[in-house]
């Protein structure tokens, strides 16, 4: 059996009928029911796709079909090892095609976006200066501090301001040193799109390189290395409906080829003696250890499924649902959504907000415990950006997700709702209805802080009486 035999042939997408939105892509766990503290249960509404998207059913089926044939990659002589090696390298080619990789680009499989950017940071030439906006996720803010000089640019108020700020910073820097720009494709806090192509053009005009953090962009829009003219792109499988522990770094190979291996070990080494080692070139140089063939194959499967479904059709569906969500929240005066570029800016299906009179962690806990709706609360591993959007000091001591302030008092945390190709319309309608009800009536249960998280009170007297709600 060849590796090709594991590729499913049926389409996973159903087109719209009579103007109705296309149906969501089938995902694993779509019909899971969860208990409610108020009694009974509810179908779980997973609205935290920006953290980890559910597994596409197509991906699960492909992985399940392969698992009986699982074997070690690159080093085994047996049939299953040979087949697994073939599948692994075919997966690399699939991802390269999905990203419109150029002929000399390399595709590395990593553990995720954070791992990808740390790998690139370890490969930077000596003396490199990195330029990064304070709006980035910590995965894009922090890795460079270990290996390079970092220029942190303030949060821009518009696309034009972002391009102008980068242009000025690069113009003022030393053209004789290697320079790298790191930018997100879509904010993990506001969902807003950044002007990636314009920033890439600006970087290249000054002789700098650019890496795109596509963790939030890739699940929703086409990401083209050639079309955007970025030097590298990084993303995570678990956000691309393939939660099997793998990610991708793809792009130019020269800095990677010249750098010491990211991890020292088998696979990265070509020959080893008592006092010397010759390292491999190509992708093997930075993929030491036993490759995660299941994770790589899952990402490739997700790429094929999204291609078959049509990314433009999926994006159009999400845009319609996002407009519906924003309109619903706009009718609730106590809700304030967070924007960097303004309410009309283009974005993916990620939205953060705060509710007047509520601690965000308690609000999120009530959505889960009383309505079966899963969202995210906290600072979303983007502390500088959330502080700015909430009007907090840049040095304010905050902890991701910790509900330190009582309900009704100012606290530097927010609520994030995010969705994608597998989200049914009714889950978003339930969410808006739940927000409206919580704002109007308050929580029906009491909550406490436990280990930095807000959880339902276990006291059997937990439910709040109707009289207490007024």
Instruction: State how far the Cα of 173 lies from the Cα of 220, in Å rounded to an integer.
Output: 34
Instruction: State how far the Cα of 333 lies from the Cα of 350, in Å rounded to an integer.
Output: 20
Q: How far does Cα 254 stand from its chain's mean position? A: 27
3-state SS, residue 121: helix
Tabulate helix, strand, coil % of the chain (nearest 5): 35, 20, 45
Residue with tokens 């709702």, as numbered in its chain:
417
Q: Quickly count: other Cβ atoms within 10 Å of residue 90's Cβ.
A: 18
Distances (CA, A) of 99 to 4, 107, 201, 235, 366: 20, 10, 19, 11, 40
Strand pairing category for 209-213 and 232-236? parallel
Beta bridge partners of 233: 212, 250
Q: Quickly count: other Cβ atoms within 10 Å of residue 205's Cβ.
A: 11
364: Cα within 13 Å, side-chain hemisphere: 25
Active-site residue, from 303, 381, 400, 454: 381
Beta bridge partners of 235: 248
Maximum pairwise Cα distance, the chain: 79
Instruction: State how far the Cα of 306 lies from the Cα of 81, in Å rounded to an integer.
Output: 28
Residue with tokens 């309608």, as numbered in its chain:
429
Active site residue 303: no
Q: Any idea which residues carry the catalytic annotation?
A: 381
């Amino acid at each position: 059996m060849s590796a090709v035999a594991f590729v499913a042939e049926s389409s996973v997408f159903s087109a719209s009928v009579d103007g109705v939105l296309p149906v969501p892509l089938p995902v694993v766990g779509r019909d899971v029911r969860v208990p409610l503290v108020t009694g009974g249960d509810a179908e779980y509404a997973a609205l935290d796709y920006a953290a980890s998207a559910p597994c596409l059913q197509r991906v699960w089926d492909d992985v399940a079909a392969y698992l009986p044939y699982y074997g070690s990659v690159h080093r085994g002589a047996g049939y299953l090892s040979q087949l697994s090696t073939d599948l692994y390298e075919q997966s690399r080619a699939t991802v390269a095609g999905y990203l419109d990789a150029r002929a000399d680009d390399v595709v590395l499989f990593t553990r995720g976006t954070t791992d990808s950017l740390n790998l690139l940071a370890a490969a930077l030439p000596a003396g490199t200066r990195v330029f990064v906006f304070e709006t980035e996720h910590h995965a894009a803010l922090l890795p460079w501090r270990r290996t390079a000089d970092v220029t942190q640019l303030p949060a821009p108020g518009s696309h034009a301001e972002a391009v102008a700020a980068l242009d000025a910073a690069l113009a003022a820097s030393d053209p004789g040193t290697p320079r790298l720009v790191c930018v997100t494709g879509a904010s993990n806090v506001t969902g807003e799109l950044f002007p990636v192509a314009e920033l890439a053009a600006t970087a290249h005009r000054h002789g700098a390189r650019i890496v795109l953090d596509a963790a939030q962009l890739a699940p929703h829009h086409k990401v083209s290395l050639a079309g955007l003219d970025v030097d590298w792109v990084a993303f995570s499988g678990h956000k691309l409906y393939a939660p099997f522990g793998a990610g991708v770094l793809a792009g130019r190979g020269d800095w990677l080829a010249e750098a010491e291996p990211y991890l020292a070990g088998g696979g990265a080494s070509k020959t080893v003696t008592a006092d010397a080692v010759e390292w491999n070139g190509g992708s093997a140089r930075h993929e030491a250890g036993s490759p995660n063939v299941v994770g790589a194959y899952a990402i490739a499967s997700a790429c094929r499924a999204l291609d078959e479904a049509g990314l433009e059709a999926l994006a159009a569906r999400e845009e319609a649902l996002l407009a519906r969500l924003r309109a619903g929240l706009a009718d609730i005066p106590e809700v304030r959504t967070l924007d960097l570029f303004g309410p009309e800016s283009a974005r993916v299906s990620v939205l953060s907000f705060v509710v007047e009179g509520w601690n965000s962690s308690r609000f999120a806990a009530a959505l889960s415990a009383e309505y079966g709706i899963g969202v995210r609360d906290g600072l979303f591993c983007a502390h500088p950006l959330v502080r700015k959007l909430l009007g907090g000091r840049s040095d304010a001591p905050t902890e991701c997700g910790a509900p330190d302030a009582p309900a009704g008092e100012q606290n530097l945390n927010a609520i994030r709702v995010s969705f994608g190709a597998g989200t049914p319309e009714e889950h978003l309608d339930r969410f808006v209805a739940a927000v409206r009800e919580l704002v109007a009536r308050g929580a029906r249960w009491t909550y406490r802080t436990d280990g930095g998280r807000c959880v339902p009170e276990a006291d059997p007297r937990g439910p709040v009486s109707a009289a207490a709600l007024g």
